[in-house]
Amino acid sequence: MSDAVVSTSREGSIATILMNRPQALNALSPGVLARLSDAVQEVAQDDDVQGIIVTGAGRAFVAGADIEHLRSLDRAGGQVFAEAGQRAFDGIESLPKPVVAAVNGFALGGGCELAMACHVRVASTTARFGQPEVKLGLIPGFGGTQRLPRLIGRGLATDLTISARMIDATEALRIGLVSEVVKPDQLLARAREVLEVILANGPAAVAGSLQVIRDGMDTDQASGLALEAGHFARLCGTDEMLEGTSAFLEKREAKFR
């Protein structure tokens, strides 16, 4: 699939989804969103895949939506396009397998929204982030108005959204938009290392943590605590929990299935 606008590859238990339209800075069109959704479903259904990296080809992660397509949209078309992008990114965020965004360059508009849909973000020093939609007479449509405030707080998210200001990787790290920043030639290796640390833990526990964090953000704290207690209880007594606790007591590495 190396010639596709979105390509997938696998090394061991880690799959890489590559946004592969470098001549257009990996811009998102309806066709690209459809291929992205297909790629996500492909790795989600592959039992040999335990973790996923999302990155971009060339000098962009994803530089935003395809502007020519945006120009063609009327109100009905805009609704369809926004919902397609939201479905694609919700599909990533709701995966029970951990997803790390390796942000290699421009992550603007839909690109920033794609990175935020991933569970962890590692950035290259060349990465740039922003929600510049207001410069086009639009607002973010693929989740930016919802995920950005949840990640960095309402005040900063409002500033970035209505100013259309672009920030570098250092500022993204400072405000909590990314977890760490590395040199460009270290990015993919570091993203893989991050995943390998996660994958050394209990897979059902990781999946449960992802689900409770996601679902709990959309409710009040009391309801979130109830979700947490329920998932905690479901893991008690499982083979995974027994292996993890036994390994700790026996001072050895756990061997999860």
pLDDT tens digits, 155-188 = 999 999 999 999 999 999 999 999 999 999 999 9
- Pairwise CA distance, residues 99 & 44, whole Å: 11
- Pairwise CA distance, residues 51 & 90, whole Å: 17
Structural domains for the chain = 6-199 (3.90.226.10), 203-249 (1.10.12)
The pLDDT, as a whole number, for residue 123 is: 98
Q: Catalytic residue among 133, 196, 240, 253, which?
A: 133
The pLDDT, as a whole number, for residue 3 is: 61
The pLDDT, as a whole number, for residue 22 is: 96
Amino acid at site 249: L
Distances, alpha carbon 224 to alpha carbons 156, 205, 211, 231, in Å: 25, 17, 11, 11
Are 173 and 123 contacting, i.e. CB atoms less than 8 angstroms apart?
Answer: yes
- CA Rg, the chain, in Å? 19
Write phi, then psi, for 88 (nearest 5 degrees). Answer: -60, -45
- Pairwise CA distance, residues 55 & 86, whole Å: 19
68 assigned to active site: no
113 assigned to active site: yes
Q: Catalytic residue among 113, 171, 193, 250, which?
A: 113
Are 112 and 131 contacting, i.e. CB atoms less than 8 angstroms apart?
Answer: yes
The ranges of the chain with pLDDT < 50 are: 1
The pLDDT, as a whole number, for residue 14 is: 98
Write phi, then psi, for 253 (nearest 5 degrees). Answer: -75, 135
